[in-house]
Amino acid sequence: MSNAPIGIYDSGMGGLTVWREVRRALPEESLVFLGDGKNCPYGSRTREEIRRLADAAVARLVEEEGCKMVVVACNTATAAAIDQLRAKYAPMPLVGMEPAVKPACLATRSGVVGVLATERSLDGDLFRRTAARYGEGIEVVTAAGRGFVELVEADREDTPEAEACVREVVAEMLARGADQIVLGCTHYPFLLPVLQRVLAEHTDRTGRDVAIVDPSPAVARRAVQLLDAGRLRAEAGHRPEYRFLTFADESYRQRLIAKAERLF
Ligand code: DGL
């Protein structure tokens, strides 16, 4: 047993959507959320840069904050760095983001699955391997959510500008008949209200429903499993603390806290 915190890390504010699920699944665990902020967005950086940034973030959570487990709540950092982080920090458990292509491929009836993610995640091995493994016989249509991360970072995720941006990015996958859209970046669930509006219009026009697949509840379940396997749960009745850190400035940290509060 350990009352040490669980670390949750993202390039910025997106990982808060995973933080929410981990908090729900593990209500007695203290959580330290590190939203880099200073180097966000990661999506168009090189793999080497992302590896260096992810290593510095996990080092901060483990060495300075004493975390007993780290959730890399960033698809881009997971794709670029999870193997290297696992090798370095073993036996500490590390949970990464899985592109939720498998549940989408199992659920599709049209045989077409859309995946939204950052450029770097889409051209990474993790996505290619997952798509090849589960996407046999299924058309997987990908699109980079250009501008999405910036909108969420600027707290502009529920604006007409965001709606126009989302409409443009999903147009092709909808035109090709996608009935599942996978959110392959932890920032994107913040855009759910606008995405749902765009999909509702599509349903009105075509009569076809489209499901949205967010992997964060499954990632939280994985964190629970690993915590139990390592006998790392906090004591029964432990009163959790929630802390927020960033490599950016204090005003960014305050915005992170405000955004986390709005999620509940
Ligand atoms: N939230 C991130 C992800 O899940 C990264 C966004 C970015 O920094 O580009 O991929």
- Predicted confidence at residue 5, as pLDDT, reads 98
Locate the ligand 1 atom nearest the alpha carbon of residue 76 and give its number.
Answer: 10
Q: Are residues 89 and 220 in the same domain?
A: yes
> Is the Cβ–Cβ distance between 260 and 190 less than 8 Å?
no
pLDDT: which is higher, 43 or 207: 207
Residue 135: which pLDDT band, with cuts at 50, 70 and 90?
A: confident
Q: Are residues 258 and 163 in the same domain?
A: no
H-type alpha helices, the chain = 16-25, 47-59, 75-89, 101-107, 119-122, 125-134, 148-153, 160-175, 192-206, 216-229, 250-263
Ligand 1 binding pocket includes 127 (Cβ within 6 Å) = no
- Predicted confidence at residue 231, as pLDDT, reads 96
The answer to whether residue 27 scores a pLDDT higher than 90 is yes
**What is the bridge-based pairing of β-strands 112-117 and 180-183?**
parallel
CA torsion 132→133→137→143, rounded to 10°? -50
Structural domain harbouring 65 = 6-97+216-262
Best mutation site among 116, 185, 214, 219 for ligand 1 pocket (most ligand atoms within 8 Å of CB): 185
Q: Are residues 178 and 133 in the same domain?
A: yes
| Residue 166 resides in a domain | yes
- Predicted confidence at residue 171, as pLDDT, reads 97
- Predicted confidence at residue 125, as pLDDT, reads 83
Domain boundary among 173, 197, 213: 213
| Residue 153 resides in a domain | yes
Ligand 1 binding pocket includes 186 (Cβ within 6 Å) = yes
* pLDDT, mean of residues 213-236: 97
DSSP 8-state code for residue 124:
S
Q: Are residues 75 and 202 in the same domain?
A: no
Q: How many domains does the chain have?
A: 2
Using omega within 30 degrees of 0 as the cis cutoff, is the peptide bond preceding 91 cis? yes
- The CATH number that applies at residue 229 is 3.40.50.1860
The answer to whether residue 127 scores a pLDDT higher than 90 is no
The verdict on whether 105 is a catalytic residue reads no
Q: Are residues 32 and 90 in the same domain?
A: yes
The answer to whether residue 130 scores a pLDDT higher than 90 is no
- For residue 250, what are its two tokens? 């204090």
- Predicted confidence at residue 134, as pLDDT, reads 86
| Residue 1 resides in a domain | no
- Predicted confidence at residue 15, as pLDDT, reads 98
Q: Are residues 166 and 209 in the same domain?
A: yes
* pLDDT, mean of residues 211-224: 97
Q: Are residues 236 and 174 in the same domain?
A: no
* pLDDT, mean of residues 218-228: 97
The answer to whether residue 51 scores a pLDDT higher than 90 is yes
| Residue 55 resides in a domain | yes
The answer to whether residue 129 scores a pLDDT higher than 90 is no
The answer to whether residue 128 scores a pLDDT higher than 90 is no
- Predicted confidence at residue 131, as pLDDT, reads 86
The verdict on whether 185 is a catalytic residue reads yes
Ligand 1 binding pocket includes 165 (Cβ within 6 Å) = no
Q: Are residues 52 and 29 in the same domain?
A: yes
Ligand 1 binding pocket includes 14 (Cβ within 6 Å) = yes
Instruction: Measure 44 CA to ligand 1 centroid, in angstroms.
Output: 10
**What is the bridge-based pairing of β-strands 69-72 and 6-10?**
parallel
- Predicted confidence at residue 180, as pLDDT, reads 98
162-193 pLDDT, tens digit per residue, is 999 999 999 999 999 999 999 999 999 999 99
Mean pLDDT of the chain: 96
- Predicted confidence at residue 123, as pLDDT, reads 86
Q: Are residues 64 and 29 in the same domain?
A: yes
Q: Are residues 112 and 194 in the same domain?
A: yes
* pLDDT, mean of residues 144-153: 96
Ligand 1 binding pocket includes 11 (Cβ within 6 Å) = yes
73-90 pLDDT, tens digit per residue, is 999 999 999 999 999 999
Q: Are residues 198 and 160 in the same domain?
A: yes
Query: What is the model's pTM?
Result: 0.95
Instruction: Measure 205 CA to ligand 1 centroid, in angstroms.
Output: 32
Q: Are residues 183 and 247 in the same domain?
A: no
- For residue 150, what are its two tokens? 């910036």
